[in-house]
């Protein structure tokens, strides 16, 4: 509890300082909703499904503040592959603070979600990802329902080839992220995405 209290105090202090230095502008609010389809759900090197998944999401953003929900549903019907998360974040410049409540309603959503034992909370701090410093660095620590307070850290570097956006990343963690609890590399790879703007001709 003392650790959580310290984190909250630090977050409030940083946010207060940031607000004092913010420009007097009306923030533009946006809302995004959608659903992704993936052949498997792999997160930080951990496989959370053995069949394709549907992953709906909804996100509200205004100014530097972001609030959203994200879920993953395994089409193969494995209950252990179901997840429903709530997250919030605040960024100022190249630094971002975040918090995610991961929930795994293994007893079904109506009953399982409202059992605190099925939740894990993680506080994160990220740096970079801006035009002046594209390299990204993130570190997260579990603050409740994880007796070992597992830590995960990740470095990423975005680049583009022929209009395709790519990102190389490597992540490391300890405790729940590994098989022997030691801090070690658990996740690495390259992701790719490309925007397609369809046009209709008459």
pLDDT at 196 over 80: no
Residue 99 lies in a domain: yes
Residue 52 lies in a domain: yes
Residue 192 lies in a domain: no
Neighbours of 19 (CB within 10 A): 12
**pLDDT score at 23:** 47
**pLDDT score at 192:** 84
Residue 36 lies in a domain: yes
Per-residue pLDDT of 142-174, as tens digits, reads 999 999 999 999 999 998 888 888 999 999 999
**Total of domains in the chain:** 1
**pLDDT score at 191:** 87
pLDDT at 38 over 60: yes
Residue 51 lies in a domain: yes
Mean residue pLDDT of the chain comes to 82
pLDDT at 18 over 70: no
Residue 170 lies in a domain: no
Per-residue pLDDT of 43-88, as tens digits, reads 888 888 888 999 999 999 999 999 999 999 888 866 566 899 999 9
Using H for helix, E for strand and C for coil, what is the string for 139-150?
A: EEEEEECCCCCC
Residue 168 lies in a domain: no
**pLDDT score at 10:** 45
Strands (E), 42-201: 42-43, 46-47, 53-62, 65-74, 83-92, 95-103, 119-130, 133-144, 151-161, 164-175, 181-193
Residue 136, domain extent: 2-17+29-147
pLDDT at 140 over 80: yes
Residue 186 lies in a domain: no
């Amino acid at each position: 509890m003392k650790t959580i209290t310290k984190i909250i105090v630090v977050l409030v202090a940083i946010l207060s300082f940031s607000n004092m230095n913010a420009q007097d502008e009306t923030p533009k609010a946006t809302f995004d909703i959608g659903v992704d389809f993936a052949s498997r759900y792999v997160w930080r090197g951990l496989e959370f499904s053995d069949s394709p998944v549907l992953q709906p999401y909804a996100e509200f953003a205004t100014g530097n503040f972001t609030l959203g929900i994200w879920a993953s549903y395994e089409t193969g019907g494995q209950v252990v592959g179901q997840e429903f998360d709530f997250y919030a974040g605040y960024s100022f410049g190249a630094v971002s603070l975040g918090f995610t409540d991961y929930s795994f309603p293994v007893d079904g959503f109506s009953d399982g979600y409202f059992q605190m034992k099925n939740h894990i909370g993680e506080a994160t701090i990220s740096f970079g990802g801006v035009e002046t410093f594209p390299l990204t660095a993130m570190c997260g620590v579990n603050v409740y329902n994880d007796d070992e307070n597992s830590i995960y850290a990740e470095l990423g570097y975005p680049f583009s080839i022929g209009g395709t956006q790519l990102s190389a990343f490597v992540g490391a963690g300890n405790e729940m992220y590994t098989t022997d609890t030691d801090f070690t590399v658990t996740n690495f790879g390259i992701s790719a995405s490309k925007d397609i703007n369809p046009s209709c001709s008459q």
